[in-house]
Amino acid sequence: MKKILAFTGSNSKNSINEKLMSTALNTIPSEQIERIVLSEVDLPIFSLQEEQKGFPESLKELFKQFSQADGFIISSPEHNGLPTAFLKNIIDWMSRIDQKFFGEKPVLLLSTSPGRNGGASNLKVLEQLLPIWGGNLTGTFALGSFSHSFDQDSMQITDAKQAIKLEKSVQNFLQILHS
């Protein structure tokens, strides 16, 4: 059984990207999924001065979790067309331990937002940078107009075409994960 590490790039307690992640993970039948909450990883804002103090233990533990995973599913919010500063800080720290911290493993990128774009601009940025970090992109999925496209009671995407697109993205990720 393959181990999938799943997380969002949000530090919000009520993240809509967490909800999208839950929906995506519910389509996965029998994998070992480890869901981590990055906001629980205690890291200062990256700087050379902070790095000179040594790598925080929480970072070393996170890196160990990445090393033990066979693949990754990430749901990243978008702030002003970019990944969140919160996620960027995690990436900055992880890349100091090993530039290719994804270990040449498959990565599925997800995003949602209240706007029609669904965070697609942020996914394009991550898509371009993922190979630098050793991630093998299997696909992206952006769900626009979250409040109109997602039923929070049933935790389901209400637009059938979008629901099928998400399921296909997850299935493609799983196929590559097992190849």
Q: For position 143, what pLDDT does the model report?
A: 98
| Residues 36-54, mean pLDDT to the nearest whole number | 96
Question: How many whole angstroms separate alpha carbon 77 and alpha carbon 154?
Answer: 21
Q: What are the tokens at 106?
A: 């498959």
DSSP 103: T
Q: Which pTM was predicted? A: 0.96
Residue 31's pLDDT band (cuts 50, 70, 90): confident
Q: For position 26, what pLDDT does the model report?
A: 93
Cβ–Cβ under 8 Å, residues 148 and 171: no
In CATH, what class is 3-177?
alpha beta
Residue 45's pLDDT band (cuts 50, 70, 90): very high
Instruction: Tell whether the model's pLDDT for residue 59 goes beyond 90.
Output: yes
Q: For position 61, what pLDDT does the model report?
A: 98
Residue 13's pLDDT band (cuts 50, 70, 90): confident
Enumerate the domain spans of the chain: 3-177
- Cα dihedral 14, 16, 22, 23, rounded to 10, equals 150
